[in-house]
Structure 1
Amino acid sequence: MEQKEPLDFGLKNIEEKIIDPHSEFRFITSNFGFVNSITHLEPFLLKFGQPYRIKEGRIAFIQRGTARVSINLIEYTYQKGMIALVAPNSIIQMNEMSADFDAQMMAIHADFLPIQSKEDFLTHLLNHKRLLLIYLSDEEHQQIEEFYLLMWKIMQEKIFRREVIQHLLVSLLYNIEYFIKANHQQVYDEHLTRQQDIFQRFISLVNIYSKTERTVGFYADKLCLTPRYLNTVIRQNSQQTVMDWIDQSVIQEAKVMLKCSNLLIYQIADELNFPNPSFFCKYFKRKTGMTPQAYQRS
């Protein structure tokens, strides 16, 4: 089955699609968004099986139930007692959720955070990973719940108390950082085997570098492994090769640019580090069965 192209899912896109950005379930501005119940989002905003590229970072606080979510090509399970931090420009796809699933979510543009010492505090907190899933203790869960409740209550005031929300958000992020550093804290990555950890780190690298780096050796060097061993690990964990994953990432980037930007074909070829537009067009057709021009018009 042909994969769908990721659609942009930024705060500005959401503002343009909904009539009332402020309701009993959401508060949306151009650089900050708060959804008090993800199950009450309009159906046209989040469709199952459709990949979306999120422009801003996300913090999802899982209230109940479970959901299967793909983030940058890897599937994870969200469940009650977790909080998820997702890096800006990630590609997400909702695959399935239980009937009782619900979560609160914040979308945060770096400009909204009143921190000048770090270019992007969320990226800092993620330690340059694309995703962080944290299992919360009962006490930590209650603390996060109180942060969300207070922020939501303040957002119901007639005048948006921007500075109050900004500093509460920073306090929340620093509190999460303390959770991560605490010795008793269990982070999702800690449950991975060594091979699974290599696979996760490899995918993170592919999402960062695939625009310019497309050799097995590059990623093997980054991971301090031999190319042969890296290929073996990736194949055992995903039934695909290193080059399969690189190609998927490149095609995904190309599809986003073709559908969601004003760039011309030769500019996209240059952006993706192809030697010339002709080479890019042949590569794209070989991988998708259609030319970039035909895909753009479809």
Structure 2
Amino acid sequence: MRQNGLLALALKQVFDYSVEPNNEYRFISSDLGFVRSMVGVQDLNGSLIVFGQPYRLTEGRVVLLRAGTVRVLVNLREITLTAHHLVVASSGTVIQFIDMSPDCDLSMLAFTNSFMEGWQKQELLYAYLRGRLYLRLSLDEVAERRVDAIFSLLWDVLHDVPFPKETVQGLISMLFYQITYFEKKDRSVKKQRGTRQEEVLDRFIDLVN
């Protein structure tokens, strides 16, 4: 299949297809989306994502990979995600899916920058809203259970009527505080075992992006 140029990947595209935006595995509005499992997007597979096609994220993503593997290019760098990886990517991130194992399962949160307007005081969230964040963490059992607990609570709250925007905003902020804690622990470990060459390479790629 011939590749097109860089395409946008946006929540609103879901409404272009004859599918229900909300079901027992997904909740999608114009400025926020939450997918509990790959089961929730099976009817969209092949429509929104084409392997080998580069996309620019219109909204950022927080993804928890529960099972399987995914190979993807992210901002010029090829990475392989495996179970227990957490990925946080700002809007504007360029991704290209290369391969995905049949047993892949994940949870994913997406939201527009405007949805979190007024919540920029949290350092990691501020970087996310400025389009400056790409973060990949390997979670231990305790950390993954904690993220999963926040995701579960968020899923429940999303279905309250009327829609509790401030509560949802608070839960997203709490999630970013928690991710900040995990990131600082991970950075400390990497600092102890990383090489200067790896540090320079990471910094160079950040600057290119």
TM over 0.5: yes
Shift of 1:198: 3.0
Q: How does 1:1-298 map to 2 (within 5 A)?
A: 4-17=4-17, 19-38=19-38, 40-41=40-41, 42-43=44-45, 44-113=47-116, 115-118=118-121, 122-124=125-127, 129-182=132-185, 193-207=195-209
Letter in 2 for 1:199: L
- TM-score in terms of structure 1 length: 0.60
User: 1:67, 1:78 within 8 Å by CA — same for their partners in 2?
Assistant: yes
CA contact (8 A) 1:87 1:122 kept: no
Unaligned runs of 5+ in 2: none
Cα separation, partners in 2 of 1:161 and 1:31, compared to 1, 3 Å: same
TM-score, normalised by the number of residues in structure 2: 0.83
Matched to 1:154, the amino acid is: V
Letter matched to residue 153 of structure 1:
D
Quote the Cα distance in structure 1 between the aligned partners of 2:203 and 2:128: 17
Tell me, in whole angstroms, the C-alpha distance in 2 between the residues paired with 1:70 and 1:59: 16
Q: Distance in 2 between matches of 1:191 and 1:38?
A: 35
Cα contact 1:54–1:89 (8 A) shared by 2? yes
Unaligned 5+ segments in structure 1 are: 208-298
* Distance change (3 Å), C-alpha of 1:113 and 1:86: same
User: 1:276-295 deviations in whole A, cap 9, x for unaligned?
Assistant: xxxxxxxxxxxxxxxxxxxx
Q: Which amino acid aligns with 2:27?
A: F
Q: Deviations over 1:49-71 (max 9, x none)?
A: 22111011110011111111111
Q: 1:164 and 1:23, CA in 2 relative to 1: closer, same or farther beyond 3 A?
A: same
Secondary structure of residue in 1 paired with 2:142: helix
User: How much has 1:191 moved relative to structure 2?
Assistant: 7.2
How far residue 129 of structure 1 moved from its aligned partner, in angstroms, is 4.8
> CA deviation digits over 1:155-181, x for unaligned, max 9?
234542222211111111111111222
Deviations 1:223-257 (A, max 9, x none): xxxxxxxxxxxxxxxxxxxxxxxxxxxxxxxxxxx
- Equivalent pair of 1:134/1:186 in contact (CA under 8 Å): no
Following superposition, the deviation at residue 35 of structure 1 comes to 1.3
Contact 2:66 / 2:105 at 8 angstroms: preserved in 1?
yes
SS of the residue corresponding to residue 45 of structure 1 reads coil
Would you tell me which structure has more helix in proportion to its own residues? 1
Larger RCO: 1 or 2 (CA < 8 Å, sep 6+): 2
Residue type of the partner of 1:80? A
The one-letter amino acid paired with 2:185 is A
Structure with larger Rg: 1
Equivalent residues, number: 206
C-alpha displacement at 1:34, in angstroms? 0.7
Say what the alpha-carbon RMSD is for the aligned residues. 3.0
Cα gap change, 1:97 to 1:138, in 2 (>3 Å): same
Check the 8 A contact 1:71/1:91 in 2, yes or no.
yes
Deviations 1:66-119 (A, max 9, x none): 111111121111111111011210111111112211111111212212534449
Query: Which protein has the bigger strand share?
Result: 2
The alignment partner of 2:205 has SS state of helix
